[in-house]
Amino acid sequence: MSTFTVTRQEPRLVVPAETTPRELKQLSDIDDQEGLRFHIPVIMFYESNPFMEGEDPVSVIREGLAKALSFYYPFAGRLVEGPNRKLLVDCTSEGVLFVEADAEVELNRLGDTILPGSRVLEELLHDVPGSDGILGCPLLLLQVTRFRCGGFAIALRLNHTMSDGAGLVQFLSAIAEFAQGKEVTAPSVSPVWQRELLSARHPPRITCLHHEFEQVLDTNNDDANSTPIQKPFFFGPKEIRAIRNHLPPHASASTFEVLTACLWRCRTRALALDPNNTVRVSCLVNGRSLPGLIVPHGYYGNVIIYPAAVSKAGKVCSFPLEYTVELVKTSKLQITTEYFRSVADLMVIKGRPLYTVAGNFIVSDVRRLGLDTVDFGWGKPVYGGPAGAFPGLSFYMNFKDGIVIPICLPEPVMERFEEELKKMTKEPFDGSVGHRPPKITSML
């Protein structure tokens, strides 16, 4: 079921519960890159809980939000831009947008339409006119929608320059702590700003090779440039086992590496690119645990980069899957503290460019962030994670006993993608595919 009526109240601004400082705070040079200057939608669905009978999720979450904003007050401000496109937060305490809504449907009637990429999001996250800009607009929009069964959904849209997924979960957890405990006076994790820790060096210097920021011409065919659609794809133990059957028995690879290699190959084949075209896969990496990168506990800014591995489209399409898996591993192995510093310096030197778009497939594994465990008092969500994909960008989320991944492609390309994916997940495979790949000595 995907059609139902939602009644929304007028949007209102929720401001910090306590007085907060009026100041200008700089974002880091990782935060304000062009590739993060967009709003990312996230959604969480909660079932009714008899122990919470009489409690209104809208009121509980709105009050928790106001209290959390007293500690995370930059979220209540607005972005301004300085010289060299430098972003700063003007901490005005104007507030974040909040929408109260009611849906004339039970949560269990929605079925698989709660999965990312569904059009349900259009009803559960209202695009308040004039709220989706990067500068001078609310940095966060939340809509809490009650279902007739007593369950509810929290959908939000975050200006990505403010936080990555880990930072957002930290903020949501603070809201949840205030929502659950009337006696809570401060979040258990104190928020840390200190964005200067990930700013460029003086003088800035690019010391690493960054395939993810190479500017290339888009040579896609007409199909690839038509209107994109979204679909979620589920990978349970059966599907993952089928994909692994395309690898030699001795191959060592994580589920993420195997899935990414498979999706990159299927996507490249579906795009029907010239075999000599260069294609990329970029694996988004959280740098919080990198040795030498000092990121204090409680830091809620962006600590993410997306190094790319590159190859020719013909090789990705025709070489055994093991070749593509090794490329995915190569992408991840590039990450060092120096690589992070080099990205920040590149942003300052080159004017904060957008990542390479043409022929690039970016993947972000958010399964361990905790979006599916945030508890406002009603228990864990039945689904919690990004609300969909973007062209060229997909997310990996937990769902039931597997992983759900939304894919965004033009409709004719999506049809070919699904056919390619069926070959990888359902057809018997005897291992006799082409030739063994050469040892990878270069990414090109």
Backbone angles phi, psi at 383, to 5 degrees: -145, 140
DSSP, res 232:
E
Hey, how many other C-beta atoms are within 10 angstroms of the C-beta on 416?
18
Residue 29 near residue 200 (C-beta atoms within 8 A):
yes
- Buried b / exposed e along 379-395 (16+ C-beta atoms within 10 A): eebbbbbbbbbbebbbb
Q: Where are the alpha helices (DSSP H) in 73-146?
A: 120-124
Residue 91: count of CB within 10 angstroms of its CB: 19
- Note if 223 is an active site residue: no
- Rounded CA gap, 87 and 73, in Å? 17
Q: Map residue 214 onto helix, strand or coil.
A: coil
Is there a catalytic annotation at residue 375? yes
Q: Which of 90, 132, 223, 375 is catalytic?
A: 375
Of the residues 39, 126, 160, 211, only one is catalytic, namely 160
* CA Rg value for the chain: 22
112-to-35, 119, 165, 260 alpha-carbon distances in Å: 30, 11, 24, 23
Which residues are the active-site residues? 160, 375
